[in-house]
Amino acid sequence: MSDTSTPDILADIQPLKAKPKPGKLFINGEFVDAQDGKTFNTHYPATANVITQIAEAGTEDVDRAVKAARAAFSEGSPWRKMNAVDRTRCLLKLAELMRANAEELSELETLDTGKPIFESSKFDVPQAAECFEYYAGWVTKITGETIPVSKGGDAFAYTLREPIGVCGQIIPWNFPLQMLSWKVAPALACGNTVVLKPAEQTPLTALRFAELTLEAGIPPGVFNVITGGGATGAALVEHEDVDKIAFTGSVETGKSIMRAASKTLKRVSLELGGKSPNLIFADSDLETAAKYALGGIFFNQGEMCTAGSRIFVEESGYDQFMSVLTSRAQKMVAGDPLHPKTRLGSLISEEHLNNVLNYVDIGKKEGAIVTTGGERIGTKGYFMKPTVLEGVTNSMRVAQEEIFGPVASVIRFKDAEEALREANNSQFGLAASIWTRDIKKAHKLARSLKAGTVWINTISTTDNALPFGGYKDSGFGRELGKSAIDLYTETKSVWVDLN
């Protein structure tokens, strides 16, 4: 651990259990090079050092992966013939293998993202394994309905839920293994096949996971990984034999994916950005609200789509809330992400760090005051101090645009009406949080907030059983829970004439 001004990030680095080997594409159960031999580097953000080289999939490689996924989905294939109980066993085995290899997966996740190993090992990896356990339970419970029909005399009608087919899944770099699990687990539970494209910054855990799928007995071609950047993702979206695209990432990329997917009328689900309001009422337990607000914005270095980045505080509780928030933010110490005590890691890249720092300048120019933080830490890696901006109004860019870093914009409000109006005054609608002891106020606000998730007296928590997704520019389609079963199946109506 080191202090916030001059962290010696390298001082404590522990030897890796397994040094990552160069990453290849995972197609039809085998690791292969890109056809043109192209590779790119993946970096450890805490040092900017290259971890290893990764194959960069071109259009032909994407085509190979889609063909493998299509063959694995074909009528009579081992995957299509596998019964529901055996599919359940595969998913449970995968989860078991993830837990058995948790130490290595956590290290790889921290190496690729720069997030604290505390987070990777306590949250990312176990929660990803749990997601497979959750969807393993669904496999035997995916059913249609028997529906009475009124026309045509005597008839018997029912619905079937069928897998969609080949699913292209494109995920971001902030929670690589968790985002993989949210997409891959329900897709496989429903009997689809998958071509996954992890973010170019964070391919390592997806590739290690790929090995585990074979050990778990998932037939070759059912799960494929193509590594590469935006062009690789775009080739997947444009491929005419992909039936569905599930994407998590930025609004701009989401729009471009939707446009491209329209050419082949692919099913699309999008989980995009957020600028989530966190409403703090004076009648709440302000100490607890401040403590949780801190986690809501600074967990994972603020690199979260649900980050509670707009903190609205009622006038009469403002000073008390702010003194706890600010003093706790000042005490957050960055350090070696691989050290178990570190709670604040590195941002993903220099470019991203500069973008986030630029937002601090924009905020200052707009009239915001930096209460704490606002600066890079040291020169090694991409560390940044937790930053609190006061004197923000909701129309400022720092309140309207997603910063995706450790920057909280604090806005005062007078009453619930004003808080609600301003909270909803945003292009985004991913999540919102309310802190109050008044249950009527809380539930009324929960109804009126335009957000896919509303937390009351908590923040930033998700559960595999609870649908997750956005209103407005935060996207559409709900992942997790039963909703994801709907996302990954087609409904077929069968009508039998009994006359």
> Which position among 111, 225, 234, 459 is part of the footprint of ligand ADP (CB under 6 A)?
234
Stretch that binds ligand ADP, among 87-95, 165-173, 175-183, 362-370 (CB under 6 A): 165-173
User: How far is the C-alpha of 348 from the C-alpha of 40, rounded, in Å?
Assistant: 16
Considering the rule CB under 6 A, would residue 38 count as an interface residue with ligand ADP? no
Q: Which of 170, 188, 189, 218 binds ligand ADP (CB under 6 A)?
A: 170
Tell me: does residue 112 bind ligand ADP (CB under 6 A).
no
**Residue 230 binds ligand ADP, judged by CB under 6 A:** yes
Q: Is the dihedral of CA 385, 386, 390, 395 positive or negative?
A: positive
Q: Select from 7-15, 125-133, 167-175, 471-479 the region that touches ligand ADP (CB under 6 A).
A: 167-175
Q: CA 70 → CA 74, 193, 334, distances in Å?
A: 6, 7, 46
Q: What angle do CA 190, 30, 59 make, to 5 degrees?
A: 80
Question: Residue 10, Cβ neighbours under 10 Å: how many?
Answer: 12
Determine, following the binding rule CB under 6 A, whether residue 227 of this chain makes contact with ligand ADP.
no
Rounded to a whole number of angstroms, the CA Rg of the chain reads: 23
Q: Which residues ranging from 237 to 276 are in contact with ligand ADP (CB under 6 A)? A: 237, 249-250, 253, 256-257
90 in active site? no
If binding is defined by CB under 6 A, does position 206 make contact with ligand ADP? Answer: no
Sign of CA dihedral 48, 249, 342, 356: positive
Q: Near ligand ADP by CB under 6 A, which window of 229-237, 379-387, 424-432, 442-450?
A: 229-237
- On whether the CB atoms of residues 313 and 391 are closer than 8 A, the answer is no
Rounded to 5 degrees, φ, ψ at 113 are -100, -25
- Of the two residues 183 and 472, which places its CB atom closer to ligand ADP in the complex? 183
Where are the strands (E) in 333-467, listed by range?
369-372, 376-377, 383-384, 387-390, 407-413, 428-429, 431-435, 453-456
**Is position 349 an interface residue for ligand ADP (rule: CB under 6 A)?**
no
Q: Which is closer to ligand ADP, CB of 27 or CB of 348?
A: 348
Element (H, E) at 38: none
Q: Which of 23, 126, 165, 172 binds ligand ADP (CB under 6 A)?
A: 172
Is residue 305 annotated as a catalytic residue, yes or no? yes
- Closer residue to ligand ADP (CB): 20 or 249: 249
Angstrom distances, CA of residue 477 to CA of 17, 105, 276, 292, 373? 39, 29, 18, 28, 36
Of 78 and 229, the one with the shorter C-beta distance to ligand ADP is 229
User: Minimum distance from CB of 251 to ligand ADP (Å)?
Assistant: 8
Exactly one of 109, 305, 422, 479 is catalytic; which is it? 305
Nearer to ligand ADP, 231 or 324 (CB): 231
Under the binding rule (CB under 6 A), the answer on residue 353 touching ligand ADP is no
Give the bridge partners for 215, in sequence order.
Answer: none
By CB under 6 A, name the one of 233, 317, 337, 429 that touches ligand ADP: 233
Cα separations in angstroms, 314 against 154, 275, 276, 328, 437: 63, 19, 17, 20, 14
**Which of 462, 396, 451, 461 has the alpha carbon at shortest distance from 420?**
451
> Could you say whether residue 373 binds ligand ADP (CB under 6 A)?
no
Shortest CB 336 distance to ligand ADP, Å: 25
200 binds ligand ADP (CB under 6 A): yes
> Among the options 107, 109, 271, 303, which is catalytic?
271
Residue 197 engages ligand ADP in binding (rule: CB under 6 A): yes
Instruction: Reduce the DSSP state of residue 136 to 3 states and report it.
Output: helix
* 402 forms part of the interface with ligand ADP (CB under 6 A): no
User: What residues are labeled active site?
Assistant: 271, 305
Binding region for ligand ADP (CB under 6 A): 170-172, 197, 199-200, 229-230, 233-234, 237, 249-250, 253, 256-257
